[in-house]
Structure 1
Amino acid sequence: MTLMKTLAGSAAALALTAGAALADPALIYDLGGKFDKSFNEAAFNGATRWAEETGGEFRDIELQSEAQREQALRRFAEAGFNPIITTGFAIAGQVETVAKDYPDVKFVNVDGFLPEVPENVLMINFQEHQGSYLVGMLAAMASETGTVGFVGGMDIPLIRHFGCGYAQGAQAVNPDIEIIANMTGTTPTAWNDPVKGSELTKAQISQGADVIYAAAGGTGVGVLQTAADEEIYSIGVDSNQNYLHPGSVLTSMLKRVDVAVYDAMMAGEDLETGKYMTLGLAENGVGYAVDENNEALITDEMRAAVEEARDAIIDGSLNVVSYYENDSCPAIDF
């Protein structure tokens, strides 16, 4: 399941006409910015790791608008970068369009969906509901009020997928637990609005929540900050965000976008395409973070319960219902 090669470099706009050495990879971030401390930054970390380990170079770009997506893809392809890796569901359509015009270039999209995958495209998805189930268990075990919260970014099925797994995990520990869920917005600006994240966090605290899970990209930074200020627990997402507020971030739901990008760059032109790859607990594609910043918060009993659930999900004896199955969730209404 290897997929990678990295990039060390230039977030400089679209000045790609200088060309690239054959097989240098390129990385296009989703809106929200390279250093969102979450999804995009995980992609950057994977690329940086590839560059450091191989001595290779990559080109990357932070888009300023949705209109730049296809332009960036075409300029990278014309300049000879291969593979071209993209993050976020919103660029999947442009990847499909551009890939057909450059059959000798390999493209990767993380998080998107295409009804038919072109032969030179790899689509990478994650079993976010599985990792979210585990952090939902931790939230319920840590809660003293019996109320936990979820703050999502853009209101799309992907984010409901996170929230659905979280709610199931919390209810597995406490069937009577109350779960408050809010989405930040319905447009891409929802990924980068820490002020709104803070406001939603305060509202949930006023309703009794004492653990809040943020699945909202850069918006989540506001959730974690406010939770720390108000002396409740938060849960980070995608990257390990425990370090942002040691002792306040209960854990982080790891979504190994860094591994996906690293593997894609490492594979380079030998990358297997024309298919979907789905990474869950069994593939270490998702999980939860315990480190020096939160280990005092996770008791041996909590960890044992979560590890037991993890093993059961992997061997199939515990099924976490996916929001995608029926566009609904048995544990919570969004």
Structure 2
Amino acid sequence: MKKYLRGTAIVGVLTLAVAACGSKPTEEDAGGSANKDFKACMVSDSGGFDDKSFNQTSYKGLQEAVKDKGLTEVKAESKSDNDYPTNMTAMINAKCNIIVSVGFKLEDATDKAAQANPTVKFAIVDSAPPKPIENVKPLAFNTAQSSFQAGYLAAAMSKSGKVGTFGGLKIPTVTIFMDGFAEGVRYFNEKKGKNVQVLGWDDAKQAGLFTGDFEDKAKGQNNAQNLITQGADVIFPVAGPSGLGGLQAAKASNGKVNAIWVDTDGCVSAAEYCSVLLSSVQKGMDVAVKDAIVSVVDNKFDNTQFIGTLENGGTSLAPFHEFDSKIPADVKSELDQIKADIISGKITVQSKVQPKAA
């Protein structure tokens, strides 16, 4: 039986849900689960757990850890940035064993909670404390690498000679995608003697097109339409749920415009747009989150930053799905070679916001 608690999460078996206002959790019987007293917890950012992107993929990792290890799940869905401290406090009050916070916007609330509660373990997606904290595991992803492939793919598939990208906010975890994308297009031009243009982002000037948030689909659709009006026929939205508006604009073009999604395989998370998706730049947030939780269960936790790369599978291009027969074999082969060359160091991705090991 599902229950709703004042404005946030849905409660199911093995689940606690905590309202954004920090109201008292309600627990359901976890049955005979092996580790039912272990509470694996998560706080979303304002995009929510059903964003078809960042939060949803991270939450999948929590769900898999809960299922595989027989844990009790606790989650708090933030409705706005103001909810982060309250929701973090609610997780502490729920006596969580590990708290996973989803996104850089929770960095301050996470750092404060971790330092005030040294016996609780934490993991944070796409952020890291300015100085390492003993009980915080940062989970980072070098999506500039896989976005480089995406830029090459977009340039190879463009008929107009123009491709476009836009972001949610101008922050490193967004611009890292846009940097890699622009670099991949430039690499295509160098290799093929072409002049495909990137609209919406100038990686040299670090200036471009943004919606200003991650929630407003109308803004995303307007930004995409702006790029399409300028001639872009492949769109790369890096804006969470706001970016879904970009996919709407592509779909409305009736085959003239295609797109590449981010964070997760869009043909799985946003299947209604699969017909316009060449591919997606994936971040293995689900695997990283699950591994962080399991490490606490198994008493193997450490605070060393995890960095997902093409080499370790922490980031990748998704399958081509409906475009598999439409993407030329030589382009597929070139994408494979780009991956190998990035891993070997033959190709050096230049983005200055790539995560670096401490």
Question: What is the TM-score of this pair, normalised by structure 2?
Answer: 0.83
1:169 is displaced (CA, Å) by 0.5
Residue identity in the other structure for 1:266: V
Decide which of 67, 81, 88 is 1:66's aligned counterpart: 81
Deviation at 1:263, TM superposition (A): 1.2
In the alignment, is residue 253 of structure 1 matched against residue 281 of structure 2? yes
More moved, 17-26 vs 95-104: 17-26
2:238 to 215, 220, 229: 215
Note the 1:105-254 alignment, pairs <5 A: 105-175=120-190, 176-181=195-200, 182-186=208-212, 190-230=213-253, 231=255, 232-242=257-267, 243-254=271-282
Amino acid across the alignment from 2:178 = G
Q: Would the alpha carbon gap of residues 102 and 18 (structure 1) be closer, same or farther in structure 2, given more than 3 Å must change?
A: farther
Which residue of 1 is the match for residue 31 of structure 2?
A: none
Partner of 1:15: 23
Asked if 2 retains the 8 angstrom alpha-carbon contact of 1:106 and 1:271, the reply is: no
Greater alpha carbon shift after TM alignment, 261-270 vs 145-154: 261-270
User: 1:311, 1:8 → 2: CA distance?
Assistant: 42
The one-letter code matched in structure 2 to 1:46 is: G
Alpha carbons of structure 1 residues 297 and 10: separation in structure 2 relative to 1, 3 Å: farther
- 1:308-319 equivalence runs, <5 A: 308-319=337-348
SS of the equivalent of 1:324 reads: coil
Say if 1:252 and 1:288, in contact at 8 Å, map to a contact too. yes
Q: CA deviation at 1:128?
A: 1.1
Question: Equivalences for 1:32-43 in 2 at 5 Å?
Answer: 32-43=47-58
- Indicate the percent of aligned positions where both proteins have the same amino acid: 28
Larger Rg belongs to: 2
Unpaired runs of 5+ residues, structure 1, are 1-6, 326-334
Query: Which one scores higher on RCO, CA 8 angstroms, separation ≥ 6?
Result: 1
Task: Extract structure 1 runs of 4+ deviating beyond 6 A.
Answer: none
Alpha-carbon separation, structure 2, partners of 1:31 and 1:304: 39
Residue 150 of structure 1 and its aligned partner are, at CA, apart by 0.4
Normalization by structure 1: what TM-score? 0.89
- What's 2:295 paired with? 267
Match of 1:280 in 2: 309
Contact 1:83 1:108 in 2 (8 A): yes
Report the alpha carbon displacement of residue 286 of structure 1 after superposing the two structures with TM. Answer: 0.6
How far did residue 107 of structure 1 move?
0.5
User: Which whole-Å CA distance do the structure 2 matches of 1:122 and 1:52 have between them?
Assistant: 22
Preserved CA contact (<8 Å) 1:202 1:226 = yes
Alpha carbons 1:264, 1:271 under 8 Å: kept: no
Tell me how far 1:271 sits from its aligned partner. 4.6
What is the aligned partner in structure 1 of residue 204 from structure 2? none
Report the RMSD for the aligned CA atoms in angstroms: 2.0
2-structure distance, mates of 1:183, 1:86: 27
What SS does structure 2 have at the residue aligned with 1:59?
strand
State which drifts further: 67-76 or 217-226.
Answer: 67-76
Unmatched tracts of structure 2, length 5 or more: 1-12, 29-35, 201-207
